[in-house]
Amino acid sequence: MTIKQIPTQPFSDQRPGTSGLRKKVTRFQQPHYLENFVQSIFDSVGDIQGKTIVVGGDGRYYNQQAIQIIIRMAAANGIGRVMVGRAGLLSTPAASTVIRKYRTHGGIILSASHNPGGPDGDFGIKYNTANGGPAPEKITEAIYQRSREIEHYLILDSIDTPLDQCGSYSVGNMTVEVIDPVADYAELMEELFDFDAIHDLLTGGFALRFDAMHAITGPYAREILENRLGAAAGTVMNGNPLPDFGGHHPDPNLAHAKALVEQLFSEEGPDFGAASDGDGDRNMILGKNFYVTPSDSLALLTANANLVPGYQKGIAGVARSMPTSLAVDRVAERLGIDCYETPTGWKFFGNLMDAGKVTLCGEESFGTGSSHIREKDGLWAVLFWLNILAARKQSVADIVQQHWAEYGRNFYTRHDYEEVDMEEAQGIMEHLEQQFPTLTGRRLGSYRVEQCDNFSYTDPVDGSTSSSQGIRILFEGGSRIVYRLSGTGTVGATLRVYIESYDPDPRNHQQDPQQALEPLIDIAVELGQIDSRTGRTRPSVIT
Ligand code: VG1
Ligand code: CO
């Protein structure tokens, strides 16, 4: 087997976004495209000679081919050992678990998460460091800079490695270890949660449905919920991972997990429903006839963490991404712990967790997690909820409504305008910034603008700064409008508008958020001139 040095030329579009490099499958299939990026990773993440890395993905189209290329390139670049999930599968939280447990140098995760898959869908790749978390901006920028000057890459001339059975294989001087993708993760979950109490709940007449959306969590959910926790066979729906996710968006929200939502909102529906995304790091939580917003979920997990064995020692602090609602801030205040506000994307939580400042964190985009790993974790959130339900013996709706009565309700919604022309989207952002000087103090409807800015974050641990992270219009009394452009889309621009208000009065808590927020939604559209600039009269997706 010989090591080949292949001449190549840089591609100009390999800057990682919110969560790695995401492009159409067809872009990744172009000669040298994946190889250039992988070589740029190997050149930018420190000395990898003889080291171990983890590789796995969400099973989407092109996953297996990409893994074979990465294995051959790893061997040619002097890596000592690659740990791969069987069949090339590893959920994002499982990859983070394995990187940490076996103290590896890092890992490569192949996923475009909630983006659709298949030959015409999306593919993605990202690097995680030794703490198990997404590489910080310092490293993603180094990878990007390397990709702009790359002239060749190294690859071993060898046959494919069999990935369908656990075992060890030699590829040149490197070892490939094919591991059970579920075992280490399931073991970690058993350490954190009261499996006996959840088992009693699930075998005592409490009905649960979990929608794996034909994505990675099927095998994890079956093993944990059905095999270990005794949930009825068939609890996990759409449990077989498919390369194109059955043609759907594997995005666990009210729009894309429709079948599950319909079950939970029916007469004979189950008591609890949950779904996860393409790579298993997101979660949606539903009760009977009840939807829990991700922001409320984070607040609730924090308020009830004392009921869960893995968190009974206490919560060091919490963190949320800037657009995530302020519900968790109120819980943190009451608990007397710090609450950090970071830019969007999990890579910003890692430093806070490594420094012991934060135990729980979350995002409005159906992401919650804790310092047990360094990624958000879909099934973990589901188990956390089940543990709370087992301890409190109340319905989801009762628990959430009680929480609102205690803390007040943060009404919240996100309106996404997808596949907008990039220039139009940037025009909206510029137009908003131009209004800053005249906005502060201005009255808009019944709201008065208290402050507006483009969010900038200085990491309290390493002092690094990230600017232009989203436009915030903050109103007196705690209402907010936030505008951001997505960093995970692959076609045009996606404009995200996040709208929030706070109401302490329980008499108003039953309102529909779209109604409660209507005046603010109108202000958001008007301030951004969204309809006239994009020609859209309504958002593509409301969550
Ligand atoms: C979106 C979400 C963000 C999340 C990111 C990755 O990013 O808004 O909160 O961290 O996806 O999630 P953006 O830049 O499109 O708004 V995942 O589950 O796609 O890895
Ligand atoms: Co995801």
pLDDT in tens, 382-418: 999 999 999 999 999 999 999 999 999 999 999 999 9
Q: Residues 128, 106: contact at Cβ < 8 Å?
A: yes
Q: Which residues surround ligand 2, an ion (CB under 5 A)?
A: 113, 277, 279, 281-282
**Pocket flag, ligand 1, residue 124 (CB < 6 Å):** no
**Pocket flag, ligand 1, residue 115 (CB < 6 Å):** no
pLDDT digits (tens, 9 = 90+) for 294-338: 999 999 999 999 999 999 999 999 999 999 999 999 999 999 999
pTM metric for this prediction: 0.94
Query: What is the distance between the alpha carbons of residues 290 and 407, in angstroms, rounded to a whole number?
Result: 19
Which CATH number is 185-407's, of 3.40.50.300, 3.40.120.10, 3.40.50.620, 3.40.50.1010?
3.40.120.10
Check: CATH 3.30.310.50 for 409-542?
Answer: yes
pLDDT of residue 18: 87
Atom index in ligand 1 nearest the CA of residue 365 equals 9
pLDDT digits (tens, 9 = 90+) for 410-468: 999 999 999 999 999 999 999 999 999 999 999 999 999 999 999 999 999 999 999 99
Name the closest-CA residue to atom 6, ligand 1. Answer: 19
> Which of 18, 92, 490 for a ligand 1 pocket mutation test, highest count of atoms within 8 Å of Cβ?
18
pLDDT digits (tens, 9 = 90+) for 8-32: 999 999 999 988 999 999 999 999 9
Query: What is the distance between the alpha carbons of residues 8 and 374, in angstroms, rounded to a whole number?
Result: 34
113 is catalytic: yes
Distance 444 CA to ligand 1 centre (A): 30
Superfamily of domain 3-181: Alpha-D-Glucose-1,6-Bisphosphate, subunit A, domain 3 (3.40.120.10)
The SS3 assignment for 196 reads helix
**Pocket flag, ligand 1, residue 330 (CB < 6 Å):** no
pLDDT of residue 40: 98
Q: Are the folds of 3-181 and 409-542 the same?
A: no
**Where residue 123 falls among pLDDT bands split at 50, 70, 90?**
very high
Query: Residues of the chain with pLDDT > 90: what percent?
Result: 97
Atom index in ligand 1 nearest the CA of residue 376 equals 18
3-class SS letters over 292-320? ECHHHHHHHHHHCHHHCHHHCCCCCEEEE
Domain ranges of the chain: 3-181, 185-407, 409-542
Query: What is the distance between the alpha carbons of residues 387 and 205, in angstroms, rounded to a whole number?
Result: 16
Say which of 40, 44, 96, 113 is annotated catalytic. Answer: 113
**pLDDT above 90: residue 490:** no
Q: What is the CA radius of gyration of the chain?
A: 23
Name the closest-CA residue to atom 18, ligand 1. Answer: 113
**pLDDT above 90: residue 489:** no
